[in-house]
C-alpha cells in the first residue's frame, strides 16, 4: 500500500493557511479575542503571506508567554503556532501544540471539532496511523455530515495498518458521495480491492480510471493484467486492442504481449500481421525469440511458406541448431527435399541439439527422396547410433537394401 504522507502534506498546508483568514480569529458566541491579540494575529497572517515563517513563529511564541493557561486566547495562539509549523512540514512540532490547544478546553465546539480533524490529519502526515484512527473514528461519529475527504483520511489510516476490510467501505462511500472523486481515491479503492482479492471489482474500478484518464497507460496495462488474472482473455484482448488503437502500446514487450494474446485465442493471422508490421517498423526488435514468434504465427495459420523466412532468420541468430531442424521439418512437409537437406546440415553443424538422432533420420529421408543412396545410408547409419531412432533407422536401411536388391538381381 503506497505511503500517502506527501498527499496529506499538501492538503495540510492548504487547511492550515485557511486557519489564518481573519474570520478564523472570531470564536462566535461569547468568546472573542482582544483587539491587541487580533492585531498580532493579523501581523502573523501578513508574515505568512510573505512566507516569513521564522518571524511569524517568534511573534506567536512571544505572544504565548503573555497569555494565561486554559484561556481561549492561549488556545487560539497555540492552534496558530501549530498551523505555522504544519505549513513548513514540521509535524512533530505542530502536534503537541495542537494537542495542548485542545486540552485547554477553551475552544468553542465548532472550532474544537475542526482542530480535532486537523489533529487527525497531522497524525496521518506524521505516520501515526493508530492515533489517526482513534481520533478520526470519534470525529466521524460526532459529525453529522462528514466530507468525503475525511472518510478517505480514516480509510488511508486503516490501509496503512493493513485493516483493508475496514478501509474499503469508507472509500466506497466517499467515492459514491463525491460528484467528481479525485484520482487518488480510485487508486486507493483499487489497491484495497486488490489486497482483498476482489479482482472483479478491481476491473470495475480500472474501467472507470481508463475512462476518466484515457492517456494514462498504466491503467490500461493494469486492466489487462486483472482480466488475465480472472482468465478473461477475451476482455484482456479487447482492452489491449483499444489501447493499441490509441497508440498507447509502443514498447516491444507490450506488442509481443498483444501478439501472444492473439495466438492464445487462436487468431494467428492477426498476430502475424501485427508482428510483421512492427518488426518492419523497428518497434519490435528482430531477436531470435520474436522472429520465431512470427514464424509460429504463420505456422498456426497454416501459412507454412511464409513461416520459412522468419524461422530461417531466427535460426541464424540462435546459438544452437534447433530452429534449422524445425525449418527442415516444414520443408519436408512441402517435399522441398534439397532445402530440407541443406537446413538439416546447418542445424547439425551448429550443434547443441536435444535430439541429434532425429536430425540424422530426417537427413536420411531427404537424401533418399533425392535418390542420394550414399548420403541416405550414411545418415541412417548415424541415426542408428541413437536409442530413440535406432529401430526406425535400421528399418530404413533394410528397406534400402531390399530395394537395391530388387533393382539389381544377380
**pLDDT of 160-169, one tens digit each?**
999 999 999 9
pTM for this model (two decimals): 0.82
pLDDT at 3 over 90: no
Q: How far is CA 383 from CA 142, 233, 364, 401, in A?
A: 87, 44, 8, 16
State residue 409's pLDDT score.
Answer: 65
State residue 70's pLDDT score.
Answer: 78
pLDDT at 33 over 70: yes
Domain parsing of the chain, residue ranges: 1-127
Mean of the per-residue pLDDT values for the chain? 90
| 1-127, CATH topology level | 1.25.40
**Could you please report the per-residue DSSP string of 17-43?**
HHTTSGGGG---TT----HHHHHHHHH
Between 2 and 382, residue with greater pLDDT: 382
Residue 40 to residue 96: CA distance in whole angstroms: 22
Q: How far is CA 294 from CA 161, 262, 323, in A?
A: 48, 12, 13
pLDDT at 18 over 50: no
pLDDT at 23 over 80: no
State residue 25's pLDDT score.
Answer: 52
Mean pLDDT for the stretch of residues 358-381:
94
State residue 14's pLDDT score.
Answer: 44
Q: What percent of the chain has pLDDT over 70?
A: 92
pLDDT at 243 over 80: yes
Residue 74 to residue 67: CA distance in whole angstroms: 6
Spatial contact of 153 and 137, defined as CB atoms under 8 Å apart: no
Rounded to 5°, angle at Cα 170 from 86 and 152: 20
Task: Burial-class residue 407 by CB neighbours within 10 Å (0-12, 13-18, 19+).
Answer: exposed
With H, G, I as helix, E, B as strand and everything else as coil, classify residue 193: helix
**Per-residue model confidence as pLDDT tens digits over 290-348:** 999 999 999 999 999 999 999 999 999 999 999 999 999 999 999 999 999 999 999 99
| 71 contacts: CB under 8 Å, gap ≥ 6 | 104, 106
Give buried/exposed letters for 264-291 (b at 16+ CB in 10 A, else e).
eeebbebbbebbbebbeeeebeeeeebb
Amino acid at each position: 500500500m503506497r505511503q500517502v504522507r506527501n498527499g496529506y502534506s499538501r492538503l495540510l498546508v492548504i487547511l492550515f493557511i485557511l486557519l489564518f483568514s481573519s474570520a478564523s480569529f472570531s470564536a462566535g458566541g461569547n468568546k472573542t479575542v482582544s483587539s491587541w491579540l487580533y492585531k498580532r494575529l493579523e501581523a502573523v497572517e501578513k508574515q505568512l503571506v510573505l512566507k516569513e515563517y521564522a518571524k511569524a513563529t517568534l511573534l506567536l511564541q512571544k505572544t504565548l508567554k503573555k497569555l494565561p493557561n486554559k484561556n481561549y486566547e492561549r488556545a487560539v495562539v497555540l492552534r496558530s503556532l501549530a498551523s505555522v509549523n504544519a505549513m513548513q512540514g514540521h509535524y512533530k512540532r505542530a502536534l503537541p501544540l495542537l494537542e495542548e490547544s485542545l486540552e485547554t478546553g477553551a475552544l468553542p465546539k465548532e472550532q474544537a471539532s475542526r482542530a480535532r480533524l486537523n489533529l487527525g490529519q497531522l497524525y496521518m502526515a506524521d505516520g501515526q496511523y493508530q492515533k489517526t484512527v482513534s481520533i478520526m473514528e470519534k470525529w466521524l461519529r460526532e459529525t453529522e455530515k462528514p466530507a468525503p475527504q475525511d472518510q478517505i483520511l480514516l480509510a488511508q489510516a486503516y490501509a496503512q495498518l493493513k485493516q483493508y476490510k475496514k478501509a474499503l467501505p469508507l472509500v466506497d462511500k466517499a467515492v459514491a458521495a463525491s460528484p467528481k472523486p479525485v484520482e487518488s481515491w480510485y487508486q486507493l479503492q483499487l489497491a484495497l480491492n486488490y489486497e482483498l482479492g476482489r479482482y472483479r471489482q478491481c476491473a470495475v474500478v480500472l474501467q472507470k480510471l481508463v475512462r476518466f484518464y484515457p492517456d494514462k497507460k498504466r491503467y490500461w496495462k493494469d486492466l489487462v493484467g486483472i482480466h488475465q488474472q480472472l482468465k478473461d482473455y477475451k476482455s484482456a484482448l479487447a482492452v489491449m486492442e483499444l489501447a493499441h488503437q490509441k497508440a498507447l502500446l509502443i514498447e516491444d514487450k507490450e506488442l509481443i504481449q498483444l501478439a501472444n494474446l492473439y495466438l492464445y485465442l487462436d487468431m494467428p493471422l492477426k498476430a502475424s500481421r501485427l508482428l510483421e508490421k512492427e518488426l518492419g517498423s523497428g518497434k519490435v526488435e528482430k531477436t531470435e525469440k520474436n522472429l520465431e514468434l512470427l514464424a509460429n504465427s504463420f505456422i498456426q495459420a497454416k501459412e507454412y511458406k511464409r513461416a520459412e523466412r522468419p524461422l530461417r532468420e531466427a535460426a541464424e541468430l540462435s546459438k544452437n541448431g534447433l530452429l534449422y531442424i524445425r525449418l527442415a521439418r516444414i520443408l519436408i512437409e512441402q517435399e522441398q527435399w534439397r532445402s530440407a537437406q541443406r537446413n538439416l546440415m546447418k542445424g547439425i553443424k551448429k550443434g547443441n541439439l536435444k535430439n541429434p538422432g532425429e536430425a540424422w533420420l530426417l537427413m536420411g529421408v531427404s537424401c533418399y527422396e533425392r535418390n542420394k543412396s550414399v548420403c541416405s545410408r550414411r545418415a541412417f547409419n548415424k541415426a542408428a547410433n541413437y536409442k530413440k531412432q535406432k529401430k526406425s533407422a535400421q528399418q530404413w536401411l533394410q528397406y534400402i537394401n531390399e530395394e537395391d536388391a530388387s533393382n539389381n538381381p544377380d
